Structure 1
Amino acid sequence: MGIFADRKLTVSELTYSIKRFLEEGFQDVLLEGEISNFKDHVSGHWYFTLKDSSAQINGTMWKSLNAGVFFRPVDGMKVVVQGRISVYAPRGTYAIDVRKMLPAGVGELQLAFDRLKQKLEDEGLFDADKKRPLPELPLRIGIVTAPDGAAISDMVTIARRRFPLAELLLSPCKVQGEGAAQSIVMAMKLLAMEKSIDVAIIGRGGGSIEDLWAFNEEIVARQIASMPFPVVSAVGHEVDYTIADYAADLRAPTPSAAMELVTPDRTKIIKNLLSVGTMFDGYLEDIIYNNRQKLHHFVHSHGFRSIEGRLRFLNQKVDSAAQKVFFAADRKFDRIKHRVKQLEARIGAFDAAKIQKKGFVLVSQGNKFVTSANRLLTGEPFLLKFHDGEVKIPNE
């Protein structure tokens, strides 16, 4: 008989006894299995099933914990998880709350890589007709990488040597570890908001497949494809290939090589300019010589001498017409001056000061001129203005 054979149990009692037993006995479990029914919920939590050939168990990994996973799980991938068993009493089910997750081996990461690559390739994200050419003279170059890595230092050195006219704009991000993929995407979005960016380089130095995995995330590939300017991917070393390389407009084996591809060589530019200048000088000399010969022939031709005589005749006519115009203008100006003097004389006749000198007086009261006896207010003083002074009248 069982330990509870001496009394009856309720379903709740049995369930909570099992819950206590499992949750206390399996607080730290290391479990290997194949992922199926993986779901990345809008809340950020992961829900999935771990299975093998004979059994399965539901799994949950909360957003705060899955942010530290360097890869994105896919159905069919074998993983090793660490967590604890939990029992959900209302349904009588148990599951594993996952705290850590790793691929069961490098082969599993390669499997995830191949599946995502095939998915995006089928969508046309990597199509050749979507690749944009690099600008010949980029004046603003965006860079998405870690601000303290060797990659940024190498790229700055190369840019200064090859094409110092270019302005480098760094959009810093994490390139590995927890939240690296999200950080890369945010850095690219900020760079896309900048005006007049000609081309961008996204990348980092070398590392293990786990270190480089952020550049194999789907969100990074889709952001690269949506950038409004060409993007060069430069992740790791020459032997390292990432999903970002396929999504970019051009792949470079290293960050240093990317800057070499993006920037023109100033020494070659100077040589080309000097060569073009020499060719242009010779071209101009030929044009000047040929036109000088044509001009010399034209000037000494009979037709030109006939034209010269005709021009002298027309010049005399122009001088005669100009004299008539000037004479007529002078007469018109004299009439205008005479008319202006007449108007000035008439205006002067109405000058108030001259009228006052003849004995007239201006009467004002309260800063206003009084124009008739009816408008003069009794009981208030008023002012008499003569041509040589003023007199205030009390008017009591």
Structure 2
Amino acid sequence: MNYVLSVSEINRYIKELISKDMIMSGLWVRGEISNYKYHYSGHMYFTLKDEKCLIKCVMFKSHASALKFEPENGGRVIIKGYVSVFERDGQYQLYVEEMQPDGIGNLHMAFEQLKKKLFEEGLFDEANKKRLPFLPRAVGIVTSSTGSVVRDIINISSRRFREIELKIFPVAVQGEQAAGQISGAIKKLNRLGCVDVIILARGGGSLEELWAFNEEVVARSIFNSVIPVVSAVGHETDYTISDFVADVRAPTPSAAAEIVIPERAVLKERIMLLEARLKNGASAKIQNERAQLERLRASSAFRQPYDRLYQERMRLDTLNRYMHKAMLSVMEKKRSDLSLLIGKLDALSPLSIMSRGYGVIRSLEDGEVVRSVKAVRENERLSVELFDGKIICRAEDIKINPGL
């Protein structure tokens, strides 16, 4: 029998399938609200429909509390959320995270779309972020020439580190020309190479007023900048695309100045502290080395420098005597072995055998050794070799032993 699933397993499996779908994980949906119910817990339940279909929706209190308007039946809205399954009822529904009235949500949608695109391309990756210089010689300020932003940055710079040079690059910070001017300023500062860090600054405003900093051309200019860029656009709660792409995001222009420009008094105090630590460390090192030198001077190696040499000479003489004795022992053994071998060779020598009365008989005709009387003819001339000479004779009579 095939494996039988329970209802809970089916619902859980369908939920997992939907949760893994990228399209279902982040949706923008336009429709009309109906069957709207506000629960006392703060959650909102309603149906989103168009001319042909509908989908059940829920917006939990954590997201509903951020709404700037009160939803109502018949209202047309644009919703951001994700689709999932409510396992208990086996019902899929749209879980709403953001909601805005239809007609004014185009900028929000464009913002999210560009944000997603640049994120997927890696423009927000921490690995691409550049480190800010510890003590910049010059800081580039890309902002409007009017307003309080420039004055605030100048005041903070003068108070913290007056010697750091500020280079103001005035641009439009809102309007149709703003994005192009901001992008051009970043590129020009990179070409000139006259600053060590760039602050991109603007005061607070609405989404429409800050839109220049959400343009793709600005984002790519920040990403391609060789010089580190600090984005300080709007108030602390305002987020723009430039904030995500920049190497550092500051909550306000004033905070950006404090991040980029160190405080002279703090640096001076730190330098003095490091100087004191360096002097103390050097003094301790000198004292340790001096103590080590005194220990070496007091050692026997310095008080009696030749003592070790004399000891090694005596050791060498002892080793020389041992070596000479060992060599004599080896030579004596080799001499004994040689005498033994000579004795063995002498015992096997033909001359030694012949000295005991033996001889070697050869035929004078062919010089061959006679090994049997059968090989000798009567009256054949023979040579008898003894240990001390040779006898020439003739075989007058040949007798063969019986039985051979």
TM-score, length basis structure 2: 0.47
Instruction: Tell which has more relative contact order, 1 or 2 (C-alpha 8 A, sep 6+).
Output: 1
Normalising by structure 1, we get a TM-score of 0.48
